């Protein structure tokens, strides 16, 4: 009897199904999801989640997808959902509420971004908020109130002008505002939205790169560059930028007085220049509405995943508020009430209060939802950099983008 029981017990132990979760998280962020997975594994016997961390997730994912053994869960940012759906590469997860996931806990805009064409495709996990960072010391030096960030686009330009300094040779020494001169750290798709425009027609999905508001937004940015100097002066200044995560980060080292970026800039400051006095505010919008660009890390289920049930179980588990609050970000994806309800579960995070205060007040917006996101992003980035470095006009550049996007869609057979 005892031997039979022990055999039964042993076979139970070996009866679990492995559910793979592919992500490009490393370091501390990887530890968070791993600990959530470990917890999940310990409280039930049916599934064992294995976190697979890879540095080049596109190559790895597409290769395994092609060979018919995709991971059961893929970590994908919101802008990849539409392309993946268009490729037929992800499953819809409308039934995930059956696994205990409470969709109502998510901030409305966040939940909406996980949907596409009426179906739910992803479980939001973590988000990053973007906005205007400014150097309070440089504000003081230029005679500006360090605690008053610019509230309108007009003010921002004026401040930028005051904050820009030149050396005796006419070279730019300090730049007032950097919207993204370095190609590796520029978000070219946010500006039309701050001007009240959009890059796609949300209803039809049509590309609207050269709509008047898009052109206006890029024209405003060009105005900034013209105000700063010539193409050569800008190239020389930007050529002096050091690596983003280092002491030579232009904002952290005081070469740039105001910059647009994600909440992680606070981390860079903490590591390399903790004594710096800085502020964070929503980037001003043309219509006066308080808005903030956001990027969301989500989990999706690839088509052909072998353990969909297990995947949904784990995703529902990750979506529990107490787990979502473990992620290393100052602003959670949850509605305010849920955050307050589970306050003890929140992981301490530097400057959380500052970001949360702003987070409560802003309307979140995301990258445009379009199946041709990657090409659009590449073309816009190229267009924006050409405009910022005064190589071309917004009209010409955006017309070009529009034309190329039309071609891209044709190539996709749309």
Partner 1 sequence: MKMRPHIRKLLVVLVLVFFAAIFAFPFYWMVITSFEPLKDFMKLPLVFFPRHFIPENYIRAIHYMPFFKYFLNSSWIAIMSTIGTTLTSSFVAYGFSKIKWPMRDLIFMITLATMMIPFVVLMIPLYIEFKSFGWIGSFKPLWVPAWFGSAWSIFFLRQFYMTIPSELVDAAKVDGASHLQIWFRIALPLTKPALSVVALFNFIWSWQSFLQPLVFLNNKDMYTLTLGLASFQQRHGGVEWNLLMAAATLATIPILIIFVFMNKYLIEGIHITSGLKG
Partner 2 sequence: MTKREKKEFIWGVVFVFPWMIGLALFYFYPILTSLYYSFTRYTIISAPKWVGLLNYKWLLTDNIFWTSVENTLYFMVIGVPLTQITALVIAYMFYYVRKSKTLGFLKVFYLFPVLVPGVILAIVWNLMLNSQYGVFNFFLHLLGINGPNWLESTYWTKPAIVLVGLWYIGMSMIIYIAALNDVPKELYEVADLDGAKWWTKLSQITIPMISPAVLFNIITGMISIIQLFDLPYILTSGGPNYSSYTWAMQIYDNAFTYMNMGYASASAWLLFLITFALTVLIFILSKNKIYYGGEE
Q: Which residues bind partner 2 (CB under 8 A)?
A: 58-59, 62, 65-66, 83, 87-89, 183-184, 232, 235-236, 238-243, 248, 303-304, 374-375, 378, 382, 385-386, 389, 391, 407-408, 411-413
H/E element, 289: none
Between 150 and 179, CB nearer to partner 2: 179
Between 157 and 306, CB nearer to partner 1: 306
Between 187 and 218, CB nearer to partner 1: 187
Provide the binding-site residues for partner 1, judged by CB under 8 A.
Answer: 24-29, 52-56, 59-60, 62-64, 66-69, 128, 242-243, 245-248, 253, 262, 264, 267-268, 271-272, 328
H/E element, 194: helix 191-194
Chain position carrying tokens 């904002």: 251
Residues 273 and 263: their CA atoms lie apart, in Å, by 16
Residues 371 and 80: their CA atoms lie apart, in Å, by 8
Contact 371, 217 (CB under 8 A): no
Chain position carrying tokens 């308080």: 290
CB of 91 to partner 2, least distance (A): 11
Which of partner 2, partner 1, none is residue 271 near (CB under 5 to 8 Å by kind)? partner 1
CB of 257 to partner 2, least distance (A): 18
H/E element, 227: helix 212-228
CB of 144 to partner 1, least distance (A): 26
Residues 176 and 160: their CA atoms lie apart, in Å, by 4
Which of partner 2, partner 1, none is residue 58 near (CB under 5 to 8 Å by kind)? partner 2
Which of partner 2, partner 1, none is residue 92 near (CB under 5 to 8 Å by kind)? none
Between 86 and 339, CB nearer to partner 2: 86
Between 44 and 247, CB nearer to partner 1: 247
Q: How far is CA 89 from CA 68, 82, 412, in A?
A: 11, 10, 15
Give the residue from 267, 245, 235, 244 showing the smallest Cα distance to 186. Answer: 244
Contact 268, 204 (CB under 8 A): no
């Amino acid at each position: 009897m005892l031997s039979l029981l022990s055999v039964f017990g042993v076979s139970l132990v070996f009866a679990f199904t492995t559910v793979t979760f592919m992500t490009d998280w490393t370091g501390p962020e990887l530890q968070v999801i791993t600990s959530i997975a470990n917890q999940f594994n310990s409280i039930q016997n049916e599934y064992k989640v294995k976190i697979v961390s890879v540095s080049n997730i596109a190559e790895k994912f597409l290769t395994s997808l092609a060979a018919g053994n995709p991971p059961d869960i893929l970590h994908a940012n919101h802008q990849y959902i539409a392309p993946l759906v268009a490729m037929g590469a992800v499953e819809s997860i409308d039934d995930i509420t059956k696994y205990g996931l409470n969709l109502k806990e998510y901030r409305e805009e966040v939940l909406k971004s996980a949907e596409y064409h009426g179906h739910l495709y992803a479980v939001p996990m973590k988000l990053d908020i973007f906005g205007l960072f400014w150097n309070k010391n440089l504000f003081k030096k230029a005679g500006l109130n360090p605690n008053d960030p610019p509230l309108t686009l007009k003010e921002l330009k004026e401040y930028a002008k005051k904050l820009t300094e030149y050396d005796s040779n006419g070279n730019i020494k300090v730049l007032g505002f950097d919207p993204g001169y370095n190609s590796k750290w520029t978000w070219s798709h946010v500006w039309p939205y701050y001007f009240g425009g959009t890059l796609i027609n949300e209803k039809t999905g049509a590309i609207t790169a050269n709509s008047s508001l898009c052109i206006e937004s890029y024209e405003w940015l060009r105005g900034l560059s013209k105000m700063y100097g010539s193409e050569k002066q800008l190239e020389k200044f930007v050529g002096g930028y050091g690596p983003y995560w280092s002491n030579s980060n232009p904002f952290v080292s005081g070469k740039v007085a105001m910059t647009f970026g994600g909440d992680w800039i606070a981390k860079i400051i903490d590591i390399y220049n903790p004594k710096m006095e800085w502020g964070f505010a929503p980037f001003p919008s043309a219509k006066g509405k308080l808005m903030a660009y956001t990027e969301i890390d989500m989990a999706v289920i690839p088509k052909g995943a072998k353990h969909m049930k297990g995947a949904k179980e784990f995703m529902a588990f990750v979506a529990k508020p107490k787990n979502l609050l473990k992620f290393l970000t100052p602003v959670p994806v949850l509605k305010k009430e849920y955050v307050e309800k589970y306050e003890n579960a929140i992981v301490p995070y530097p400057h959380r209060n500052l970001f949360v205060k702003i987070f409560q007040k802003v309307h979140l917006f995301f990258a445009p939802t379009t199946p041709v996101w990657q090409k659009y992003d590449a073309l816009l980035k190229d267009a924006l950099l050409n405009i910022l470095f005064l190589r071309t006009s917004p009209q010409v550049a955006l017309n070009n983008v529009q034309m190329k996007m039309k071609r891209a869609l044709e190539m996709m057979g749309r």
